[in-house]
Amino acid sequence: MWADPVLPGLLLKNLPYGETFFGHPTGRATDGRLVLDFIAEALGLPSMPLYLARGSNFSAGVNFAVVGAPALNLTYLQGLNLTVNPPINSSLHDQLVWFQKLKPSLCNGQGTDCFGSSLFVMGEFGGNDYISFLLSNRTVEQARPYVPQIVDSISRGLEILVYFCMDLVGLKDV
């Protein structure tokens, strides 16, 4: 996970973030590894570089996660007069756009089966949306009507990711 570009001063670039495992600041909202790092290690892959850490080599994978990113966009949440703290301007939709922009350069020279044999991990979306309600002194009962919309946003995001992947392996018309 990387700090959203809206928050350039976020302290994730300083210790203790990264201290336990990496021994240096990583830009991740953890002092060690992410679940994705453990999955990559178990599969014999390197840790996935963060997409927002420009200049990284994405030939073995990429991590689009942004700390605090909601499933719904910031403008919508703020339109509901919700406190979004910190004000994350990178939602699930943005991460899917980043993937779509990067996909032509992924798997270069690795053949057409590259995406068919790739692992895609979609993280814990939705929690930050609910936290916005609670930080705004709303009750769980007040947040409950938005659950279908949040779940729908996550479902649509997953469908888009599957569509992108099917397109990449030539199964778009199936």
Residue given tokens 């994405």 in the structure block: 58
| Three-state secondary structure string covering 95-160 | HHHHHHHHHHHCCCCCCCCCHHHCCCCCCCCCHHHHHHHHHCCCCHHHHHHHHHHHHHHHHHHHHH
**Model pLDDT for residues 3-38, shown as the tens digit of each residue:** 444 444 455 666 666 677 777 776 667 777 788 888
Average pLDDT over all residues of the chain = 78
Given a contact cutoff of 8 angstroms between Cβ atoms, the answer to whether 105 and 58 are in contact is yes
In angstroms, the Cα distances linking 40 to 37, 43, 62 are 5, 5, 11
Q: Which pLDDT tens digit goes with each residue over 140-150?
A: 999 999 999 99
Contact 28, 17 (CB under 8 A): yes
List, for residues 43-61, the tens digit of each pLDDT value. 888 888 888 877 788 877 8
State both tokens at 94: 């943005």
Of residues 72 and 166, the one with the higher pLDDT is 72
- What integer pLDDT is reported at residue 6 of this predicted model? 45
Return the domain boundaries, the chain: 11-168
Model confidence at 100: pLDDT above 70: yes
pTM: 0.76
Six token digits for residue 172? 């778009």
